[in-house]
Amino acid sequence: MTSRILVFYGSYRSDRLGIRLADYLVAQFAARGAQAELIDAMKVGLPMLDRMYKEHPKGQAPAAMEELAEKIRTADAFVFVTGEYNWGQQPGLKNLTDHFLEEWFWRPAAIASYSAGRLGGARSNSIWHGTLSEMGMAVISSTLTVGQIAEAIDPQGKPTGPAGQALEKSFPRFADDLAWWTEAAQAQKAKRAPPY
């Protein structure tokens, strides 16, 4: 069964290097047979959170929000690609996720982080685990952390140098972990509807 994976990216900076990691992940999941799609928060263009999707009267949410809500509802799994801003979460990605809640429920999520330095966004990666769990997702234990992002992946999304080799070595386990949980969630949903 083909899985639909949404890969979320949230930087609004003019020189976005993390998009390289997002593009790499979309290509790698597609190569493994998944139907992977990049959701770029900057391109979606939701405003700073005022009203969540569920707070709009049915059929009256802004078009971009309505379209994204449907994509989230019908996805099988999620991957969040995040940078680290002052030891914290990337605000653009956090803003996008906070517009939704029930739409996320009962699916697995994975986190891939990056930074210009050697730690690869590990602190942000850790923070996202609790956030996504609170939003109703089953967060897998495998994560990707890509340090020195400018040297690790070239502008075409191809891994380069030692950091790129580390990414290529880590990706299969990350993808296998997400695939296992995705298949488990699909099987359980086929057997019994979620309790709420």
Coil vs helix vs strand at 162: helix
CATH code that applies to domain 4-191: 3.40.50.360
pLDDT, mean of residues 108-119: 93
From CA 67, how far away is CA 3, in angstroms rounded? 19
This prediction has a pTM of 0.96
Q: Using one digit for the tens of pLDDT, what is the confidence trace for 31-67?
A: 999 999 999 999 999 999 999 999 999 999 999 999 9
From CA 101, how far away is CA 137, in angstroms rounded? 10
Which of 99, 97, 23 lies closest to 56, judged by CA?
99
CA 80 to chain CA centroid, nearest Å: 2
* pLDDT given for residue 151 in this prediction: 93
Torsion of CA 56, 58, 64, 65, to 10 degrees: 50
**Lowest mean pLDDT across 83-87, 107-111, 137-141, 146-150:** 83-87
From CA 48, how far away is CA 121, in angstroms rounded? 24
Kindly list the domain boundaries of the chain, sorted by start residue: 4-191
pLDDT, mean of residues 113-138: 93
* pLDDT given for residue 87 in this prediction: 85
**pLDDT for 195 beyond 90:** no
* pLDDT given for residue 54 in this prediction: 97
